[in-house]
Amino acid sequence: MRLIGFCWGIGGILLILLFAIYRLTPMALELEYLPMRISHWLSLIISIIYMAYAEGYKGFHLSFAPRAVLRAMYLQENPKTVHVIMAPLFCMGFIHATRKRRLLSIGLTLMIFCFVVLIRFVPQPWRGILDAGVVVGLSIGVISIFYYIYQVRNNPEIFSVTADVPHNDWGIKFT
């Protein structure tokens, strides 16, 4: 049950991210067949650089990925049937998390949902430009999760986030 919780938690998150990449990539690749002005090309470069930094590095690499991997490790060490069944939600901080973590997770998810709905109304090439940046950010997120899986096995003291479980009921403190 321990290994199942870890694998299902991280695997579920990776499936969500890879599915989003799979769905958005064709819109970004459609740019190849569209006439683009210099303003479009500059916007594409800015979108990719900004999303690589803001979403990929700041959002995923420094915050989400290490926390998700730590929460998966916590689940591996403290498996409860309901948490293992809902392991992806557990690792994303929706369940068995501090109040602040749950609120942040729900708020961020709602914000992302709103952006997804709004972006559907943006015409090409602008939608492809935005989607290209998101694909880059999500790809960095996937790579970051694999990086932290490797790190947690070999060098766990590098983590600068907490697992955000209630009452710090995991005996290890990551700071």
- Contact in structure between 10 and 91 (CB atoms under 8 Å): yes
Checking if the pLDDT of 175 tops 60, the result is no
pLDDT at 90: 96
pLDDT at 160: 73
Banded model confidence at residue 171, pLDDT cuts 50, 70, 90: very low
Mean pLDDT value of segment 83-93 = 96
pLDDT at 161: 78
Q: Where are the beta strands (DSSP E) in 7-127?
A: none
Query: What confidence tens digit (pLDDT) does each residue in 23-79 have?
Result: 999 999 999 999 999 999 999 999 999 999 999 999 999 999 999 999 999 999 889
Query: What confidence tens digit (pLDDT) does each residue in 119-163 have?
Result: 999 999 999 999 999 999 999 999 999 999 999 888 877 777 787
In this structure, what token pair is assigned to residue 22?
Answer: 């799979």
Coil, strand or helix at 1: coil
Checking if the pLDDT of 173 tops 60, the result is no
Nearest Cα residue to 87 out of 68, 67, 111: 68
CA distance 30 to 8: 33
Mean pLDDT value of segment 100-108 = 94
Between the alpha carbon of residue 62 and those of residues 13, 56, 80, 127, 141, the distances in Å are 16, 9, 28, 27, 10
Task: Say what the alpha-carbon torsion angle 39, 40, 43, 45 is, to the nearest 10 degrees.
Answer: -110
Checking if the pLDDT of 168 tops 80, the result is no
pTM (global) more than 0.85: yes
Banded model confidence at residue 174, pLDDT cuts 50, 70, 90: very low
